[in-house]
A and B are shown apart, each in its own frame.
Chain A
Amino acid sequence: MVNQKVSNQKGLTVKDLVTTGIFAALIWVTMLIGGLPFAPNPLLTFYMPLGGALLGGPVFLLLVAKVPKRGPISIVGILAGLIFFATGMHWAMDLGYVLGGLLGDLIAGTKKYRSVKLNIVAYICLCLGATGSYIAFFADPTAWSSLMLNGGTAQSYLDAMNGAAQGWMLPVILLGTVVVGAFSGYVGSKLLKKQFEKAGITA
């Protein structure tokens, strides 16, 4: 316990930063692989945050177990937001990841990053960041497609668009992301207990 306090006071070392970077890369790739089957399909594109949340849980929990300090979760959120911004994703999604990371860091920090349950909640916060662009979409569907509408599109199109994006979809996306993220975190905690704690990989 005393030892733990010392390492907490020291702040982030270079080793912690490098570990965070490597795991941030892995988490980002899991988001991409999970989200890719959904994004190009026009009917499934709305369920992209669910896919993105599916794979990252074990990686995220191992990162928190390796670096149980204030910072890594926020850094993962900020980096994911930056990279998604650099690849041109919608700004609301990038902002969502940054905010989700900061919030997750605060939540997991209340138990000094040692509580598995709160770490899973932190992961869910991060995953909810992906829903940012969909919240923006449902807030104003016409602005989203305004790029296409400038050519003077008929009213019939506007009606069809509003019909396609139904109101119940947003709660489904949000709830679904929470459920999928919790499942991924649960699998991750089992995996961590079975494999990584025995091998002494967790700090």
Chain B
Amino acid sequence: MSGKIKAGLWFDPRTKLLLLLLTALGATMAPSLMYELGLVMLVALMALVCGEWRKSALGLPAYLLFYLLTLAVMQTDGSSLQTTLMAFLGLFHKVYPCGFLAGVMISTTKVSEFLSAMSRIHAPKKLVIPFAVMLRYMPAIREDWHFIKDAMQLRDVSPNLAGLLTHPVRTVECVYVPLMMAASKAADELSIASVTRGIENPRPRTCLVQICFRAADLLAVVCFAAYLAAGLFWKEAFL
């Protein structure tokens, strides 16, 4: 195939979804903070194996920082600082492992691979097509936003909070109208492109990349499942 293949193991998109589910379950039922740290380490290892070493090198220290902050806050027993921070930190620790893993997965999965894997498990097309389009379009929104900001500055409309307060109606119009026009135009173009490439074809979808479970998939699932089971049945080990 092409020479652009990244270093790192290739995982089946279905495996990635399964791992995401296991991580979400693990984060929800985590018996202790220590367990949560282990889960993040496991995800960082997974990112490393996928060849996303930069995400791994950034994600783990960032979590460690928050871990230490949480421990420090726990030390100050019953203070007002603890109460105000607790709800936020509770949310953060539940969100982090999944968000980390989802980021790694979205950047390592191609849209065509994702669509083939979804048609293999007979997921309804009504959900899969919008989902794939959504993932594909999100980076484009950011790009559009930069263009709109430039255009607004060119016409002396400031795209920030001060502009919003002094000229609310004009600023809102100048943001929404181009953004939504661009979106509906992109919708027309993308649907023409996808119909041309045969998305309506009723036959089973084929893909250049072979979608199948391999030893690496099995190993990854076993690792995550074992960790989840450990959290459920040997809670004492993580206290």
Using CB atoms and an 8 Å cutoff, list the residues of chain A in contact with chain B.
Answer: 12, 14-15, 17-26, 28-29, 39-43, 45-46, 58-59, 62, 66, 71, 75, 78-79, 82-83, 85-91, 137, 144-145, 147-148, 150-151, 153-154, 156-157, 160-161, 163-165, 187, 191, 194-196, 199, 201
Chain B residues with CB under 8 Å of A153's CB are 74, 77
Taking the closest CB of chain B, its distance from the CB of A195, in whole angstroms, is 5
Q: How far is the CA of A137 from the CA of B88 in the complex (A)?
A: 12
| Interface flag for B207 (CB, 8 Å) | no
**Binary per-residue interface labels of chain B (121-135) against chain A in the complex, 1 for a CB within 8 Å, 0 otherwise:** 000011101111111
A-B contact list, 6 entries, CB within 8 Å: A23-B187, A25-B135, A29-B141, A42-B87, A160-B80, A191-B177
A151 to B129, CA, bound (A): 46
Q: A164-B83, A195-B177 are in contact. Are A45 and B91 (CB under 8 A)?
A: yes
**Whole-angstrom distance between the alpha carbons of A26 and B134 in the complex?**
8
- Give chain B residues whose Cβ lies under 8 Å from the Cβ of A25: 133-135, 137-138, 141
Q: Size of chain B's interface in residues, with CB distance under 8 A?
A: 65
CB nearest to B187 among chain A residues: A19
Q: Say yes or no: B84 contacts A147, CB within 8 Å.
A: no
Closest Cβ of chain A: how far from B20's Cβ, in Å?
6
Bound complex: CA of A75 vs CA of B200, how far in Å?
A: 19
| Docked-complex contact A22 and B36, CB < 8 angstroms | no
B30 to chain A, nearest CB (A): 6
